[in-house]
Chain A
Amino acid sequence: MERELSLYEKRVDALLQLLPRTDGQARETFLRTQRALKTAPDDAAYFDRWIEALAEALTADGVLAAEDLAERQAAVRARLERWEMEE
């Protein structure tokens, strides 16, 4: 019996299902990423590859600013680390 997907994996999957149903640049970026991933090696985890490719494509296409994404990642990490800091 295979393991159930983690919440992270389900969330990435949800992005992949919903992005093509939106209007605008994010949708085009998704389709472009899908085409690019077709020929990419797939030894790494499926959802990890997708989220990484999406990050690159969304910033390349200007849907998200690279600085905003980097800043938000740092903020997410900081929120996760807060528990360790509160000793």
Chain B
Amino acid sequence: MTVEARFKPGDAVVVDTRDHDGHCRTPTYLRGRQGRVREVLGAYKNPEALAYYRDAEALPLYDVVFGWKEVWGEDGIDEIAADIYENWLKPA
């Protein structure tokens, strides 16, 4: 991957809480939630830019796992995994 990945597997990350008007692939129910990077999936074109321009920069994409209590505030062993772009993640 030619683009440098900011996070690595095992890193604790938080999904940003900003609003985004335009094409966005970060689900609302995960915003502000803390998860764990499981895998660096590679670099993919930023969908937010792609919605407006045919070409867009490639951004690292991460497989991030979220615990049930973290997402829903309820006890549970189940988890949610989502593919999140680097520009929506901050270190926890």
Residues of A within 8 A of B (CB): 23, 28, 31, 35
Query: Which B residues are in CB contact (< 8 Å) with A35?
Result: 23
CA distance A35 to B23 in the complex (A): 7
Inter-subunit contact A28/B54 (CB<8 Å): no
Q: Chain B: interface residue count, which band?
A: under 10
Residues of B within 8 A of A (CB): 23, 51-52, 54
* Shortest Cβ distance from residue B50 to the other chain A in the assembled complex, whole angstroms: 9
Inter-subunit contact A31/B51 (CB<8 Å): yes
Inter-subunit contact B54/A31 (CB<8 Å): no
Name B's interface SS: loop
Q: List 5 A-B contacts (CB under 8 A).
A: A23-B54, A28-B51, A31-B23, A31-B51, A35-B23
Query: Which A residues are in CB contact (< 8 Å) with B54?
Result: 23
CA distance A23 to B50 in the complex (A): 11
Query: Which A residues are in CB contact (< 8 Å) with B23?
Result: 31, 35
* Shortest Cβ distance from residue A65 to the other chain B in the assembled complex, whole angstroms: 24
* Shortest Cβ distance from residue A50 to the other chain B in the assembled complex, whole angstroms: 17
CA distance A23 to B52 in the complex (A): 10
A-B residue pairs, 6 tightest by C-beta: A31-B51, A31-B23, A23-B54, A35-B23, A28-B51, A28-B52
Query: Which B residues are in CB contact (< 8 Å) with A28?
Result: 51-52
CA distance A23 to B51 in the complex (A): 11
* Shortest Cβ distance from residue A16 to the other chain B in the assembled complex, whole angstroms: 15
Query: Which B residues are in CB contact (< 8 Å) with A23?
Result: 54
* Shortest Cβ distance from residue B31 to the other chain A in the assembled complex, whole angstroms: 15
CA distance A23 to B55 in the complex (A): 11
By beta carbon, the residue of chain A nearest B23 is A31
CA distance A31 to B52 in the complex (A): 9
